[in-house]
Each structure stands twice: as structure tokens, then as C-alpha cells.
Amino acid sequence: MVAVVIEYIRYTVPSSQADEFERAYRAASPVLDADPHCLAYEIARGVEEPENYVVRIEWDSVEGHEQGFRGSPGFRVFLAAVRPFIPQIQEMKHYVVRQSGTAR
């Protein structure tokens, strides 16, 4: 079984920039949709602290993300869309799921 690598990017985005942040990721999402290394993604906004966002991207591997996606022409389009929010990143790391389940 191939382990999916999950990238978590945690942002702190002032409420005054929330709409712009979400528009940036909507503009960048076609690049993720088209990339063969990107398996799935989601953007979530905090409920208790709405200035907190978590972007969760599933990659086929760290290499697929760092060499494949970042080396692709689409990456420049993606980066141009989200670049204004790079200074607001609190964490950007890769993880491998060790256990999961479903609630019934």
C-alpha cells in the first residue's frame, strides 16, 4: 500500500482579507485539479477563530509535490495566486496518516 503524503498549511489571515484569501485559492485550484501528483485538497476556516485557515493537500509523495508539482509550469500560476498570503503561513509540513477511522 502506497502511503499518501498530506501537506498541512496553516495560515493566520485577518478577517478583512478572508474573502481575498478564499478567492486566491479558488484561482489556484484549477492547477491543483490538473496536477497528477495532487490527489485531493481542501481549505477549511476556523469556527472559533475564523482568522485561522488550514489548507490540506494530499500528494502521491513528497517528491511528487516538491519536484513534480513545484517543477511544473502550473506551479508558477498557483504561486502567483497565493503569494500575497505566504507571510501569513504559520506551518507548512508533510505528514503521513498512521491511523484513521469513521464514526458511526
- Residues 36-95 have pLDDT tens digits of 999 999 999 999 999 999 999 999 999 999 999 999 999 999 999 999 999 999 999 999
Query: Could you read off the pLDDT of 67-84 as tens digits, one per residue?
Result: 999 999 999 999 999 999
Return the domain boundaries, the chain. Answer: 5-96
- Full-model pTM: 0.92
Which CATH number does 5-96 carry? 3.30.70.100
In this structure, the number of other CB atoms found within 10 A of the CB of residue 47 comes to 7
3-state class (DSSP) for residue 60: coil
In this structure, the number of other CB atoms found within 10 A of the CB of residue 97 comes to 10
